[in-house]
Structure 1
Amino acid sequence: MTATWEVARPGVFDDVPADVYHADPVPGGSLSSSEARRLLPPSCPALFRHYKDHPEDRTTTAALDFGQAAHTLVLGDGPELVEVDADSYRTKAAQTQRDAARVAGAVPLLPRELETVRAMAKVLREHPVAAKLLERGRPERSLFWADETTGTRCRARLDWQRDSRPGRRVIVPDYKTAVSAEPRAFGRSVLQHGYHVQAAWYLAAIQALGLGGDDSAFLFIVQEKTAPYVVTVCELDADALALGQALTRAAIDTYQRCEEDGRWPGYSDDIVHISLPPWAADALEDASHE
């Protein structure tokens, strides 16, 4: 990682390396969408603080490598992809190649994985809406701004910023790989992973930096990871975005409060009363009739 990197002013930057962005190049610290979600249930401020303070505890998995590789081929920007000459990572030699690639900042892939991400990129380029969304623009742009209410420094990294046209609505596409791109299934993923918070966060960034108005749109390009690599383009409805905006506000306010207090609490400072799920009562009733 480039240790000399710092971003001390708001703006849009094209040349911030991914590892620098994720390590947070803002003096005094800033908050990203994924970090904001770590402040909110089912996480808590204590887990957020540990995540920020101990980057060495973050692990890279094969699933993360695969997602990064797909991003690289679809967006045309990202780390080098290194093919590991093996059919699995069972052997020490394959593990050594994999680890060396990661240390060098590259993404290791088994041959079948590389073939898959290439096929995914081809299918996406043939989708009439997704392909058009990724025309004429710039990948991996880093945005830095200050929250107007608290002054909290914030950051976001756009997968793709489309070239702007006067009088045209700003649309921000975001690429996701998924087990299922079926709309209802992806809706469940939105709630599970907090993608509605991400959408609200990125739209706030666009508006804060004057890149778009309140009619800007955030679209998810969702692609399945198994053949035939189906693609669906999704936009959250107004209710989902409103919830994302409320949670964004809650996360920033929580961050500001914890910074001021110098205290990052866990799930609760009080005694928590726990109820069993409804099916537990049914199990008790069944047992009483035996």
Structure 2
Amino acid sequence: MKAFPYLAQGEPLDLGPGILRGLSREQYDRLPSINQSTLKKWIEIVMVGGGCPRKFKHWFDTRNDGEKTEGLLLGSALDCLILEPGAFESKFAVAPAGLNLRTNAGKAAMEAFESANAGKDILTAKQEQTVLAMREALEKDEKTTDVWKYCQKAVLQAEIEGYPCKGEVDLFSNNTEYLFDLKTSRDASGKAFGKSAWDLGYHIQAAFYLMLCSALGLKKSSFSFVVVENTAPYCVAAYTLDWTSDAMQYARKLITEAMPQFAYHFTRNQWPDFSDFEPIKFPKYSRGEIVDFLGTSL
């Protein structure tokens, strides 16, 4: 299988195609293959957003800078607690409650705590309670009982359209046609989640993973999202995207067209800015204003 060494974080870990179980996150990041989040960002910035490759490269080079948002932090903590419970204490630490960070003593205590837990994500006591409440809601939800019982995290690696790709599936089983992904949301209602799913490119994520399965000869026909709200009463919903849906067909076409573009710029390390002089593309609604003023049809 081909490899894209520049996509690996650290020393590239060369493993063949297949279902890879038991990989740590550090090992996954070292796989020199394209993941869905990076390809999705290329599609978002360059193909759909009309941006330039240089703008994408800036995102790629700075994607790990800065602190996680609270939503991402809660989602990561819940993923670990549900899918890798034995690793939670090595990845997360809960800050002592009641520290007054406006005092020198409080600041010193917090600095000592952070030093003792270097490399871990820090949760507040309130955030920990939120994560525990979300886990409890998921464990009590009857419609997803079999998901937690029979599915496990797995890494898939294969070539899509001739390019090496990888994906970390939250919940995978050989005994079902479904793949499952765990999401947190402020609003898990159908209308709200549908909008956020579209805006965040979940259809592209789903198509990418199902294309990986197809490349590995795995019969998977649907991608499902188990969604838990991150505020009380922590309601749980489940949504499915079928392989034959219009959204998935659109996503597959985007992925197919994005792959060679993405590979071209990475292999040549060429990141051009916007093109030379070109006509301005006015928005569609400008046509109506022009017609109204000139009294002609376009």
Q: What's the TM-score bracket when you normalise by the shorter of the two chains?
A: 0.7 to 0.9
Is 2:156 the counterpart of 1:153? no
Q: Which amino acid aligns with 1:145?
A: A
Separation in 2, partners of 1:184, 1:94: 45
* Aligned-residue offset at 1:57: 2.8
Separation in 2, partners of 1:187, 1:55: 26
* Aligned-residue offset at 1:117: 0.8
Q: Which has the higher helix share?
A: 2
Please say which structure displays the higher CA radius of gyration.
2
Separation in 2, partners of 1:59, 1:113: 16
Separation in 2, partners of 1:178, 1:206: 27
Give 3-state SS (helix, strand or coil) of 1:197's partner. Answer: helix
Give 3-state SS (helix, strand or coil) of 1:16's partner. Answer: coil
Separation in 1, partners of 2:100, 2:147: 36
Unaligned runs of 5+ in 1: 283-290
In structure 1, the residue matched to 2:294 is none
1:101–1:108 contact (8 Å) kept in structure 2: no
Separation in 2, partners of 1:130, 1:38: 30
Separation in 2, partners of 1:277, 1:95: 54
Is 2:85 the counterpart of 1:96? no
Is 2:124 the counterpart of 1:119? no
RMSD (Å), alpha carbons = 3.2
Equivalent position to 1:85, from 88, 93, 96:
96
Q: Which amino acid aligns with 1:96?
A: E
In structure 2, the residue matched to 1:144 is 157
Equivalent position to 1:227, from 227, 232, 255:
232
The number of residues matched between the two structures is 268
Equivalent position to 1:35, from 34, 38, 55:
38
In structure 2, the residue matched to 1:208 is 215
Separation in 1, partners of 2:268, 2:215: 27
Describe the shift of the 1:260–1:56 C-alpha distance in structure 2 as closer, same or farther (beyond 3 A). Answer: closer
In structure 2, the residue matched to 1:287 is none
Q: Which amino acid aligns with 2:229?
A: E
TM norm structure 2: 0.77
Separation in 2, partners of 1:190, 1:267: 29
* Aligned-residue offset at 1:260: 5.1
* Aligned-residue offset at 1:232: 0.7
1:74–1:124 contact (8 Å) kept in structure 2: no
Describe the shift of the 1:155–1:268 C-alpha distance in structure 2 as closer, same or farther (beyond 3 A). Answer: farther
Separation in 2, partners of 1:247, 1:123: 36
In structure 2, the residue matched to 1:182 is 189
Comparing 63-72 with 118-127, which one deviates more in the overlay? Answer: 63-72
